[in-house]
Every structure is written in C-alpha cells, then in structure tokens.
Amino acid sequence: MNNFSLILMLLVLMAVAYQFGMVRSRSLAGGNNSAIMHSRPHHYGMMVGLWAVLPPLFIMLLWNWFSPGVIQSMVLASIPAEHLPDGEQAAIIMRRISNLAANFGIVAEAAEWELNAANYLQALRQQSALMLTALMFIVASVGLLLSFRKIQPSLRARHQVEKVMMGLLLLCSTVAILTTIGIVLSMVGETLKFFTFIKPSDFFFGTTWNPRFSTAGVADGSLTGSQGSFGLLPLLSGTMLVAFIAMLVAIPLGLMVAIYMAEYAPSKVRNTVKPVIEVLAGIPTIVYGFFALVTVGPFLTDLGAMLGLTIRATSALTAGVVMGIMLIPFISSLSDDILTQVPKALRDGSLGLGATKSETIRKVVLPAALPGIVGAVLLAVSRAIGETMIVVLAAGNSPSLTANPFEAVSTVTVTIVNQLTGDNDFASPQSLVAFALGLTLFVITLLLNVVALVIVRKYREQYE
C-alpha cells in the first residue's frame, strides 16, 4: 500500500476512534449518574482518535525516512562482486536499477545482474510496504484499545487534547520561520561560492557592473582576469534612485489620501473608496510595467521636450513614478489605519481650544501618528527596493552609476533576473552573483522591516 492510501485510512480510523471514545464516555456518564466526567465527550473522542492515529503516523514518517537507505544497502550487497561499484559510481548504478524496477527511463539494454538486482529491489520495496502497513495497524489498534480502556470519569482527556493542539499550532508557526532560515542558508552557501571567484571588497565597493558572458569566464580556470567586473554600487545607486523617486510620488499622495479618508470623508464615501483603493494594491506589477512602458514613459518624454529636458522613455523617472503610483494604496491604507487609531480625545482637546479641523490635523493628529506613518513608509520603501517587474520594463536596464533621474538605470532586482535567465552555467560567477545580490537585498529589506516594525510597535504601545 502506498503512503497516500495509508494516510487516508488513518483519517478514517481517526473518525471511527473519535466516535468510539465519545460513545464510551457518554455511556460511562449516563450509566452511572454519580460519575461526573472530567472532560466533555468530544475531548474523550479526540483523545482516542489521536492515540489511534499519531503513533502510527510517527512510525510511518520514521519508516519512510530510514527504509530507502536500508533497502539500497541490501540491494548493493546482493550485486555480484565483479560488478560491485565503488564510490560515486554506486549512486549512478542504484539510479539505473531503480529505473529498471520502475520500468522508466532505461537507456541501454539491461544486463542480467542488473535485472536481478531490479527484481530484488522491487520485492524488497513490496515487503517493506507490507511490513509498514502491518506495523501501523498493530500500533493503531494498541493505541486505540489502550486509550479506549483508559476512559474514566477522572481521566483528564481535555488536557491531553489541548497539549496536542498546542503542539500542532507551534509546528505550523515554526514553518514560516524555518522557511526564512532555509532561504537565507541556501543563499549564503551560493554567495560564499561566489566570493571564491570575486573578492568581497570588489563586489561591495566596485563601481563598474560588467559581468560579461559566462562562456568567457573561468571554464578552464585560465581566464580569471577577464571575467568581467561585479561592482554592486551602480546597481545599488539605481535601486535607491528609483525607490527615492517612488517615495517622492507615493508619500505625499498616499498621505493626502489617508488624511482625506480618515478625517474628512463621510462614512459612505469612505466605505466605498477604501476597498477600491485597496484593490489597486492587487494589480499585478507587470501590468504597472506595461503602463509605464506604453503610457507614462512616452508622456514623460513629451513633457520633458516641452520643458526643454531630455528624458528617456525608459528611465529611473518613469520606473519611479509608476512604482510610486503602485505604492499609493499601500501607504494610504496603512496610514489611514494609523490616523483613525489616534484617540478622539486628542482631536476634541484641540478643537475645544478653538483650533480648526485642519490645524488639529496638522498640529495634533499627524504628529501623534508620525511614528506609525514612518513605519508605514519604511515598509513601502522595502517594497520599492524589492520591486522587480516595473523596473525590468521601465528603467532601461543600463547599470551605470548616475544620479540623473532622466537616464536609464538598472537595479539589483533586474540584474538578478538578467543573471539567472538564459543559458547559464550555475557554477559560474555570472550566475552565482545573483545570490550575492539577492542576499544583499534581503539584508537591506530585512533591516528596514525590523526598524519599521519596532517603530510601529512602539507607537501602538502608546495608545493601547
């Protein structure tokens, strides 16, 4: 039996055991009026269900963890000595045998001993599955019976069930954290590999980005001098320039939207407009990218021509402006929440002193909300830094160290895309640099988010 049907059976078993436990506890409580059960019937049911299912599940996990290794060594031991592989060859031969057993992906005619080994492997696997099923069945029955017999008025079933629930929740919450750690570790490994090709100082402080093609790289180890330069600074400056322009657009507009929504809009308007603005946040960024490329870029070029400026259609300005538009709902929605959290008592205090509404907003509400708004802005900045598609389409992809917003730039995210797409050797610095860039980006946004969260939390404590 395969694992999937085993799990299905376990679920069925759990439902049955649940009913058993519940019925048993009910009959205990009903048969003897003086007995007061410690827990509710469904707690007893759940307890029996868990005892019937969790131990076999655990055994199944362990079995699946260890049995392939055991089976493999048994198969290897069965192979005649003259064919016996050594070292790394073992894995290749095992793969071939396992393909033969599965009747899949066989390249050449199989030799006699290979077929024998494949048959042996197949038989072992079937045996293993049978043994697992039997073992799980026994353990499940024992668990069910023992826990079923333990049901008494004094048994604290609720405590057991709630402990298991807590464990489950804990497990779920660690998944997100472990994933983050996994991401970092995988990037750190590749980044360290990259730094065996390029000195960290050349990467972090280099002012030229010109990685060349990986075919011109270090394939034979003799061309290390001509593998191009991997300077981070042009990319970082491009990223910062685009993010800065985006903030110039998003902060004033977003804040004004938030102030209108929180302070002036009648509740009818607020209840319709707020969801609509939040829908804007759901537009795929690639669509914003089209918008930048087709509409905003040419418009800015025309505008520049009118003012006597040369603005490229794809430039830091185009990407920044569109990214700013994308971030407006982000800032307005967060700031709106923060502004409405400012206590009414503060507004009343100011109005009671004869301040007008706008004076109250400028001098009392906004200063009181400032830490929260700063947090919202920092979160928006970290999104701007990590944004990719708009910049791919609209920034011009020209990694040059410039502060002129009318020129084409490139950003860290765009470069990662460029370095990882196409036919690339994953062991070359041209590809590995993407991981170094990704890690750098990750660290920057992580720091920004941490600062933002600390600020937002500090603000929350002030009023709750």
Partner 1 sequence: MSESTVLNDAAKVKMTARDVKVFYGTNQAIHGIDMDIMENEVIAFIGPSGCGKSTFLRCLNRMNDTIDICRVTGQIALDGQDIYHPSLDVVQLRAQVGMVFQKPNPFPKSIYDNIAYGPKLHGLASKKSDLDDVVESSLRRAGLWEEVKDRLNQPGTGLSGGQQQRLCIARTIAVSPEVILMDEPCSALDPIATSIIEELIAELKQNFTIVIVTHNMQQAARVSDRTAFFHLGNLIELGVTNDVFTNPTQKRTEDYITGRYG
Q: In whole angstroms, how close is the CB of 459 to partner 1 at the nearest point? A: 10
Given candidates 352, 421, 423, 464, which one binds partner 1 under the rule CB under 8 A? 352
Given candidates 112, 196, 354, 464, which one binds partner 1 under the rule CB under 8 A? 354
Dist. CA 396–CA 411, nearest whole Å: 10
Given candidates 183, 356, 358, 443, which one binds partner 1 under the rule CB under 8 A? 356
Please choose, out of 302-310, 361-369, 392-400, 424-432, the segment that lies near partner 1 by the rule CB under 8 A.
361-369
Q: Are 8 and 135 in contact (CB under 8 A)?
A: no
Given candidates 347, 378, 429, 448, which one binds partner 1 under the rule CB under 8 A? 347
Write the DSSP string, 274-305: HHHHHHHTTS-HHHHHHHIIIIIHHHHHHHHH
According to DSSP, residue 214 is labeled G
Q: Which two tokens stand for residue 303?
A: 């505008």
Q: In whole angstroms, how close is the CB of 452 to partner 1 at the nearest point? A: 20
Q: In whole angstroms, how close is the CB of 355 to partner 1 at the nearest point? A: 5
Q: In whole angstroms, how close is the CB of 451 to partner 1 at the nearest point? A: 21
Please choose, out of 129-137, 295-303, 359-367, 416-424, the segment that lies near partner 1 by the rule CB under 8 A.
359-367
Please choose, out of 9-17, 223-231, 362-370, 414-422, the segment that lies near partner 1 by the rule CB under 8 A.
362-370
According to DSSP, residue 409 is labeled B
Given candidates 80, 167, 298, 367, which one binds partner 1 under the rule CB under 8 A? 367
Cβ distance to partner 1 smaller for residue 365 or 392: 365
Q: How many residues bind partner 1 (CB under 8 A)?
A: 21
Given candidates 214, 239, 301, 350, which one binds partner 1 under the rule CB under 8 A? 350
Dist. CA 95–CA 409, nearest whole Å: 48
Q: Which amino acid is at 104?
A: F
Q: In whole angstroms, how close is the CB of 334 to partner 1 at the nearest point? A: 19
Task: Supply angle C-alpha 425, 395, 303, rounded to 5.
Answer: 165
Cβ distance to partner 1 smaller for residue 159 or 363: 363
Cβ distance to partner 1 smaller for residue 6 or 342: 342
Q: In whole angstroms, how close is the CB of 267 to partner 1 at the nearest point? A: 8
Which is it for strands 209-210 and 229-230: parallel, antiparallel or unpaired?
antiparallel
Given candidates 266, 282, 284, 308, which one binds partner 1 under the rule CB under 8 A? 266
Q: Which amino acid is at 153?
A: P
Q: Does the footprint of partner 1 cover residue 312 (CB under 8 A)? A: no
Question: In which residue are the tokens 């999937």 written?
Answer: 4
Please choose, out of 140-148, 243-251, 350-358, 419-427, the segment that lies near partner 1 by the rule CB under 8 A.
350-358
Cβ distance to partner 1 smaller for residue 139 or 342: 342
Dist. CA 249–CA 172, nearest whole Å: 39
Cβ distance to partner 1 smaller for residue 302 or 359: 359
Question: Chain centroid to CA 273: how far?
Answer: 30
Cβ distance to partner 1 smaller for residue 18 or 459: 459
Q: Roughly how many angstroms between the first and final C-alpha of the chain, as a whole number? A: 56
443-462 residues in contact with partner 1 (CB under 8 A) are 462
Cβ distance to partner 1 smaller for residue 263 or 336: 263
Please choose, out of 37-45, 57-65, 239-247, 353-361, the segment that lies near partner 1 by the rule CB under 8 A.
353-361
Q: Write down how long the chain is.
A: 464
Torsion of Cα atoms, 244 then 310 then 287 then 258, to 10° = 40
Q: In whole angstroms, how close is the CB of 295 to partner 1 at the nearest point? A: 40
Dist. CA 304–CA 396, nearest whole Å: 17
Q: Which amino acid is at 70?
A: V
Cβ distance to partner 1 smaller for residue 127 or 271: 271
Q: How many CA atoms lie within 13 A of 39 on its CB side?
A: 21
268-297 residues in contact with partner 1 (CB under 8 A) are none
Q: Does the footprint of partner 1 cover residue 349 (CB under 8 A)? A: yes
Q: Does residue 85 come out as left (phi exceeding 0), alpha (psi in the -120 to 50 range) or beta?
A: beta
According to DSSP, residue 83 is labeled G
Task: Supply angle C-alpha 310, 315, 321, rounded to 5.
Answer: 105
Q: In whole angstroms, how close is the CB of 260 to partner 1 at the nearest point? A: 16
SS3 404: coil
Helix (H) or strand (E) holding 210, with range, is strand 209-210
Q: Does the footprint of partner 1 cover residue 267 (CB under 8 A)? A: yes
Q: Are 335 and 356 in contact (CB under 8 A)?
A: no
Please choose, out of 61-69, 355-363, 393-401, 418-426, the segment that lies near partner 1 by the rule CB under 8 A.
355-363
Cβ distance to partner 1 smaller for residue 152 or 356: 356
Closest of 171, 274, 239 to residue 411, by C-alpha: 239
Residues near partner 1, by CB under 8 A: 266-267, 343, 345-356, 359, 363-364, 367-368, 462
